[in-house]
Structure 1
């Protein structure tokens, strides 16, 4: 294997690792968002955990956060909880930092 091939493999491995890490952080963020939303919806214990899993699963439908935001906003609206999309997206950003920290310390 040439030096170029070795470098290419190192870059590919790093890219793969970074993508896996990003996926873990996003899934953790979604779970934390689900738990936060569950609390606002009045869910506790197993119900809150089940709701968080629903939120995580909802983000698998399309790229980006639109499906995730749509689900949580819809659930808030159904329960009469006032929440703007902007406030929800700000919360997503806040939770992202927590999720990164949690994943990096594991």
Structure 2
């Protein structure tokens, strides 16, 4: 092994670690978004838990956040909640900051 090989392996390990952290933060953010939307729709605790899981699952449909935004806007509108896309995007940004903070705080 050369120093170059060691550095390359270290960079690959760091990249994998960073990707895992980002995945966890995004999943946490989506759960928080689901809980935020569930409160607006007046769901019970059991329904809130199931809905939050459905929002996390919705993120796997396509790359990026558009699938989650579409789901939230559609579900909130169907439930009679007066909400628009910019409101959901603002909530997404707010929940991203909260999720990142929760993940980075020592337990």
TM-score between both structures, scaled by the size of structure 1: 0.96
The secondary structure found in structure 2 opposite 1:101 is: helix
- Please state whether the residue corresponding to 1:93 is helix, strand or coil: helix
Equivalent-residue separation in structure 2 for 1:95 and 1:13 (angstroms): 28
Q: How many residue pairs were aligned?
A: 106
Q: Give the drift of 1:9.
A: 0.6
In structure 1, the residue matched to 2:38 is: 38
Q: Which stretches of structure 1, 4 residues or longer, exceed 4 Å deviation after superposition?
A: none
Structure 1: runs of 5 or more not aligned: none
State the Cα distance separating 1:82 from its structure 2 match: 1.1
Q: Which residue of 1 aligns with 2:62?
A: 62
1:36 and 1:79 mapped to 2: Cα distance?
14
* 1:72 is the counterpart of 2:57: no
Give the alignment's TM-score, normalised by structure 2: 0.95
The CA deviation at 1:45 is: 1.0
Q: Displacement, 1:44? A: 2.3
Please, which moves more after superposition, 78-87 or 6-15? 78-87
The aligned counterpart of 1:100 is 100
Distance 2:93 2:78 in 1: 24
Structure 2: give runs of 5+ residues left out of the alignment.
none
